[in-house]
Amino acid sequence: MPLALYCAERGLSVVVIEKNASWGRGQNRAAIGGIRATHSDPAKIRICQESIRIVSGLEAERGIDVEWRAGGYLFVAYDERRESAFRDLLAIQKEAGLGIDWIGPERVAELCPGIRKDGLRGGTFSPGDGYASPLMTSTAFHRLARAAGAEFRFGETVVAMKAEGGRVVSVRTDAGEYAAGAVVNAAGSDAAELGGLLDLDLPVHPDCHEAGVTEPCERFMEPMLVDIRPDEESGNYYFYQTTTGQVVFCITPKPQIWGKDTDATSSFLPLVSRRMTELYPRLKNLKVRRTWRGMYPMTPDGLPIVGYPREYSNLLLAVGMCGQGFMLGPGLGKILASAIVDGPGVAPQLFEELSLYRKFEGMELLK
């Protein structure tokens, strides 16, 4: 949606092909709403700084409320290993322009009254990060993109792409065929299948994550609270209180659950409830309203794939967002619209760092 908006505003004729029946029905629908520039990778920091500028300004600049709130992100540490890792990252994060710092246990308790203090060493806090409603944000970008002239073809599935002379010359769906000077693969969990239509091997494999939301209650915390400690059944987990009072939460399953199954499970809620109430006992009396399941289109190193493949000079890849498409999308959409119009030289470092041809070594710490 953001890419469609910014391409249209740059004067391009834009057609968005979407297999679902309407906007906002892909993986952003399952997002819990966090938007942070607090990452360990410089490219993602830059993209999300732009996302925060865009989303935080939607109401003032465009007159659209998306329930944005700059509550910040708080990564807590309860052991020396994680404290050391967070402190080491601060140099990279500050050099990238993040307003982030280490805070002690007492400040953590002020931001999150009722958090377990036993063993708490402190955490990194970035007050400029925040959260917004994914559905309201998606609707805002759809509305703005249409007003700028973008066209949307919902309920159409891409079945083939035609290439000639190192360029994609047309895209065929089950309803028609489209020709364009530039084609973008931003298909989320279906990115690898679309790449396969052109014999491109895109290392994007979705895994399943679940989330939930409670009833609303009186406001008691501001930040998105993140605990990256794993246990035998799960990895990191995180939750925050929305502008309207509900607590929204998610957890990383262990081991990862690969595939595209979006049915909720019976194991998620007992697991995440145990871990959240161990960290934050005052949550124990909140009633959960619903849970849901979505997909993280993962890459081997937890970073997106952005850029042009060697085989096709006009096929732009914006895939493998690794569960962070909601926070990356606005900033990346604006950057890529400029790259399409002005050339990839507008963001050479980003295209190099997120290239399809990188080594895919390691894993981003704050994925």
Distance CA 107, CA 130 (A): 18
Tokens of 189: 């969990």
Look at the block and give the residue holding tokens 């865009």.
Answer: 54
Q: What is the pLDDT along the chain (367 residues), one digit of tens a residue?
A: 999 999 999 999 999 999 999 998 888 889 999 999 999 999 999 999 999 999 999 999 999 999 999 999 999 999 999 999 999 999 999 999 999 999 999 999 999 999 999 999 999 999 999 999 999 999 999 999 999 999 999 999 999 999 999 999 999 999 999 999 999 999 999 999 999 999 999 999 999 999 999 999 999 999 999 999 999 999 999 999 999 999 999 999 999 999 999 999 999 999 999 999 999 999 999 999 999 999 999 999 999 999 999 999 999 999 999 999 999 999 999 999 999 999 988 889 999 999 999 999 887 777 6
**Spatial CB neighbours of 316, under 8 Å, sequence gap ≥ 6:** 182, 183, 184, 185, 307, 308, 336, 339, 340
| Half-sphere exposure for 41 (CA within 13 Å, toward CB) | 21
pLDDT of residue 284: 95
Consecutive H or E run containing 107: helix 105-111
Instruction: Kindly report the length of the chain.
Output: 367
Distance CA 274, CA 280 (A): 10
Between CA 214 and CA 219, with CA 215 as vertex, the angle to 5 degrees is 95
Is 365 in contact with 40 (CB distance < 8 Å)? yes
**What DSSP character marks residue 158?**
E
Is 18 in contact with 152 (CB distance < 8 Å)? yes
Q: What is the dihedral of CA 224, 136, 210, 255, to 10 degrees?
A: -70
Q: What is the DSSP string of 318-354?
A: EE--TT-HHHHHHHHHHHHHHHHHH-GGGSHHHHHHT
Q: What is the CA radius of gyration of the chain?
A: 20
Q: Set out the domains of the chain in order of their start, with CATH numbers.
A: 2-66+133-204+301-353 (3.50.50.60)
Distance CA 335, CA 129 (A): 20
Residue type, 148: A
Between CA 174 and CA 176, with CA 175 as vertex, the angle to 5 degrees is 105
For residue 145, CA distances in Å to 1, 72, 120, 140, 150 come to 7, 28, 46, 9, 5
Q: What are phi and psi of 65, to 5 degrees?
A: -85, 125
pLDDT of residue 344: 84
Edge-to-edge order in the sheet of strand 177-178: 158-164, 167-173, 177-178
Of 21, 327, 2, the C-alpha closest to 142 is: 2
**Spatial CB neighbours of 302, under 8 Å, sequence gap ≥ 6:** 322, 363, 364, 367
Distance CA 110, CA 103 (A): 11
For residue 71, CA distances in Å to 34, 131, 136, 325 come to 10, 7, 18, 20
For the segment 201-246, what is each residue's pLDDT rounded down to a tens digit?
A: 999 999 999 999 999 999 999 999 999 999 999 999 999 999 999 9
3-state secondary structure of 45: helix
pLDDT of residue 28: 86
**What DSSP character marks residue 256?**
-
First CA to last CA distance, the chain:
23
Q: What are phi and psi of 61, to 5 degrees?
A: -90, -30
Distance CA 145, CA 317 (A): 20
Task: Please state the pTM of the whole predicted model.
Answer: 0.95
